[in-house]
Amino acid sequence: MEQYRINPKQGMEFGIYTLGDHLANPETGERIPASQRLEEIVELAKLADEAGIDFFSVGESHQDYFTTQAHSVVLSAIAQATEKIKIASSSTIISTLDPVRVYEDFATVDLISKGRTEVIAGRASRVGNFDLLGYNLHDYEELYEEKFDLLLQINQNEVVNWNGQYRPALRNARVLPRPYHGSLPIWRAVGGHPSSAVKAGYSGVPIFLATLGGPVSIFQRTVDAYREALVEAGYDPAEFPVATAGFFHLAETTQQAQKEMYSYINEGMKKTNGRGFPKSNFAQGADRRNVMNIGSPQEIIEKMLYQHEMFGHQRYIAQMDFGGVPFSQLRRNIEQIATEVLPAIKKYTAEK
């Protein structure tokens, strides 16, 4: 776990991620300019850094209603605007990008941030980038596996010799610059289905698990399958961290928190995924055994500790800005995370 710079003695890491969506506030109908949305993402990272939050990541999505298509550029701005917080993608869609260029970009951001940068490489839950960037959606799985493997090889070797089907061969290719610490922490983004997590285990890489809603027990199967694959491939699971990510919002009560967030998440899902979030399913998020962390600070602390007990994970990453959420609400959440949630989580998850 040392190579991923997570210290278990400091407790589970708490992070924030944004997809960079650019949506109207469903309560007011107002959509801020793209420039303001980008400024607010950088400002949110600064606030998180000042609050002692561990991690901040930015995703890419090449379609309407998003504004961080050039997410590595945004991360570069965040690298200069912050001092201590770890920064990463969430996720980099490696399937439709050149791994050489991705590595050049992220190694550069890592140098700017003095070694705080990570890569979370995903396959894309929204697939508009395939046509836009000139790739065949029918090659969805093959593109990802080949390019993810190349990204790992570049990370492990400054000079690369490589052959593949979807990119020209590399012959004694020297990929520069090299990162601040010599290599980058590279994670594999996975959904709820265990198959991708199993592949991550066989490859010996950590996983970033999206858990938008549903019982903790369902996602526990994925985490268990991942660790079993690590063992089968000859790795020690203790050396490979697990991160989970999902919707997050704090209010005085769970009922109030759900009421405040439902319209944002529902309308955001409609616009970006083509279907909303059924209200009955959303309401189930109040259950202590549900992965959705929307509620009062004390209830969220209890839920996060329950999830930690079940998953044994090393990092949780909150998505709290989806669907046009106003910045004032995000600021309040940061303040409450810093003063109420983070101290408790660190206290009860730190290894003695």
* Domain extent listing, the chain: 2-349
* Mean per-residue pLDDT, 84-89: 98
Alpha-carbon distance 158 to 182, whole Å? 9
CATH no. for 2-349: 3.20.20.30
Q: Provide the pLDDT for residue 109.
A: 98
List 243's β-bridge partners, or say none. Answer: 208, 315
Q: Phi and psi of 223, rounded to 5°?
A: -65, -45
**pLDDT for residue 124:** 67
- For residue 193, pLDDT beyond 90: no
Q: How many CA atoms lie within 13 A of 152 on its CB side?
A: 14
pLDDT at 137: 76
Please tell me the distance from the alpha carbon of residue 118 to that of residue 334, in angstroms, as a whole number.
22
pTM of the model: 0.96
CA pair distance 304, 248, nearest whole angstrom: 11
**What is residue 125's predicted lDDT score, i.e. its pLDDT?**
64
Q: What is the pLDDT of residues 104-159, one digit of tens each?
A: 999 999 999 999 999 999 986 667 777 878 888 788 899 999 999 999 999 999 99
Contacts of 18 (CB under 8 A, 6+ apart): 41, 44, 57, 58, 59, 68, 90, 319, 321, 322
Q: What is the pLDDT of residue 196?
A: 93
* For residues 266-278, average pLDDT: 92
pLDDT value at position 5? 85
Least confident among 117-126, 159-168, 194-203: 117-126
